[in-house]
Amino acid sequence: MTPPTGPCPISTTTMNAPGSVPSEAGGNAVGLLCAILAVTLAGFGISLTHPLFAVLMERKGYSGLEIGLSSSSLAIAMLAGGLLMPRVVARTGLIPIMAAAAACCSSMLLIAGAMDDYFGWIAARFGFSLGATALFFGSELWIVSGAPAARRGLWLGIYGLLLSGGFLSGPLLLNAVGTLGWAPFLWAALIMACAALPVLIGGRHAPRNFGSAPASVLETLRYFRTDPSLIWGVVLYSVFEFGVLGLLPVWGLRIGLEEGVAIALVALVPLGNMLLEMPMGIASDRYPRRLLMMICASGALLTGLLMPVWAGWEVGLTGLLLVAGGVVVGLYVLPLAEFGARYTGDALSRANGAVIVGYGLGALLAPTFLGQAMDIAGPHGLPWGLAALAGVYLVLLAWRGRARSA
């Protein structure tokens, strides 16, 4: 099944796109929980390895550019994985690729632990990131395809809540075991290996309606044209997430905040994700998703406009970033839910691949675009850049809505 060739705007109710079939309801709760547990463990391991590699490279005396280039392997792996995974899943099924991905991640961490070489670390991180991308792709496809249509948003909210918990746990474990020797690598490798267990346990409940039409790269990229409101919403969310997490401490220091306060601001965004992910998922089952996405994009716009105004008011800034983290995450959750309503089988697999590509694109562009904005406009170039992107996206949403009603 191929994506529709004509416009496919966001539905105001659960509607099918032309040329697609509605996702089947009645997903198995055990299987869905296994998929969520697998990706939660993956998030746990990923959030442990990112600061680990950053600290190790800093200790070795590598430059900020070299450390940044190493981190970009994640974005490149997401771009490659998003394009490749629909075809791989069509040929092998979900369970084999997810189990192999967990083994790949664990092996790459053991290889990295045995290395003391910059380019070796980059290669190992790329392999690890490609495996992690496959785990995320498989888990999200499992959840979106297998969840009952009337409760798809709820299941995505549960997924986001537990995943946020996994991401918050990694740095805590790293702080406990330290960054010296084999200990952090062994712990991370064990966690990633454990991600295969729920996949194998719940595998018999996984959806199997993939494989009738292996996807080409162009078929995956076609969703940028047929469903632009959804895919570019994911890109905006990724830019917000990676831009804020990477550059918010720099913004805080440049406007005069103490170092501890500037660093603490970063934790507010994932905390907001955690607090509001479930309500956002439930809302997506009850209200028009176009309206919800406009609210989320407006939240990103207001965040960018208010950050410079409230820069000297720590209480207001704290509340703003906390709410923004929870609201903007809807730009990821809502497209997943909407794709589940529009497509099934291989078409849904390709759509999920396009979501991963969009997320990787945002991760790749965020540091460059927002960093350049800060160089040109000073520290407030960060929030102004976010506001500008959110404004452009709101125009896209309005244009697509008008095209639908015309």
pLDDT band at 29 (very low <50, low <70, confident <90, very high): confident
Please tell me the distance from the alpha carbon of residue 23 to that of residue 2, in angstroms, as a whole number: 15
Per-residue pLDDT, 107: 95
DSSP labels for 232-283?
A: HHHHHHHHHHHHHHHHHHHHHHHTT--HHHHHHHHHHHHHHHHHHHHHHHHH
Taking only Cα atoms into account, the Rg of the chain, rounded to an integer number of angstroms, comes to 20
Both 196 and 269 in a single domain?
no
DSSP state of 356: H
In a domain, 378, yes or no: yes
Per-residue pLDDT, 64: 60
Looking up tokens 């595998």 gives 203
pLDDT above 70: residue 101: yes
pLDDT above 70: residue 401: no
Both 231 and 378 in a single domain?
yes
Please report, as a single letter, which amino acid is at residue 243: G
Q: Taking residues 178-196, what's their average pLDDT?
A: 91
pLDDT above 50: residue 15: no
Q: Taking residues 49-69, what's their average pLDDT?
A: 75
Q: For 139-161, what is each residue's pLDDT tens digit?
A: 999 998 888 888 888 898 898 88
Highest-scoring range by mean pLDDT, 96-110, 144-158, 266-280, 362-376? 96-110
**Helix or strand run (H / E) with residue 292:** helix 289-309
Domain end (from 157, 173, 208): 208
Both 262 and 335 in a single domain?
yes
DSSP state of 213: S
Per-residue pLDDT, 215: 60
Total-model pTM: 0.82
Q: For 39-53, what is each residue's pLDDT tens digit?
A: 999 988 888 887 788
Please tell me the distance from the alpha carbon of residue 81 to that of residue 83, in angstroms, as a whole number: 5
Per-residue pLDDT, 211: 62
CA 284 to chain centre: 18
Both 268 and 345 in a single domain?
yes
Q: Taking residues 237-257, what's their average pLDDT?
A: 83
Q: Taking residues 195-211, what's their average pLDDT?
A: 84
Please tell me the distance from the alpha carbon of residue 282 to that of residue 21, in angstroms, as a whole number: 23
Per-residue pLDDT, 2: 39
In a domain, 4, yes or no: no
Both 396 and 290 in a single domain?
yes
Both 137 and 283 in a single domain?
no
Domain end (from 179, 208, 237): 208
Both 198 and 241 in a single domain?
no
Looking up tokens 């490609």 gives 130
In a domain, 215, yes or no: no
Both 241 and 341 in a single domain?
yes
Q: Taking residues 12-21, what's their average pLDDT?
A: 38
Both 135 and 72 in a single domain?
yes
Per-residue pLDDT, 214: 57
Both 137 and 102 in a single domain?
yes
Per-residue pLDDT, 406: 33
Domain end (from 156, 179, 208): 208
In a domain, 78, yes or no: yes
DSSP state of 227: S
Per-residue pLDDT, 104: 95
Per-residue pLDDT, 253: 83
Give residue 328's domain range.
223-405
Both 61 and 84 in a single domain?
yes
Mean pLDDT of the chain: 83
Q: For 340-351, what is each residue's pLDDT tens digit?
A: 888 888 888 888
In a domain, 131, yes or no: yes
Distances (CA, A) of 84 to 80, 289, 293, 295: 6, 28, 28, 33
In a domain, 94, yes or no: yes
What is the greatest pairwise CA distance in the chain?
63
Q: For 312-343, what is each residue's pLDDT tens digit?
A: 888 888 899 989 888 998 899 899 889 988 88
Picking from 394, 398, 357, 355, the residue whose alpha carbon sits closest to that of residue 156 is 355
Q: Give the CATH number of the domain where residue 63 resides.
A: 1.20.1250.20
Number of domains in the chain: 2
pLDDT above 50: residue 389: yes
Both 232 and 204 in a single domain?
no
In a domain, 333, yes or no: yes
Please tell me the distance from the alpha carbon of residue 275 to that of residue 178, in angstroms, as a whole number: 29
Percentage of the chain modeled with pLDDT above 90? 29
Percentage of the chain modeled with pLDDT above 70? 88
Looking up tokens 């040929």 gives 91
User: Is the separation of the CB atoms in 153 and 337 below 8 Å?
Assistant: yes
Looking up tokens 């045995």 gives 114
pLDDT above 50: residue 126: yes
Per-residue pLDDT, 9: 42
Per-residue pLDDT, 5: 40
Per-residue pLDDT, 65: 64
In a domain, 16, yes or no: no
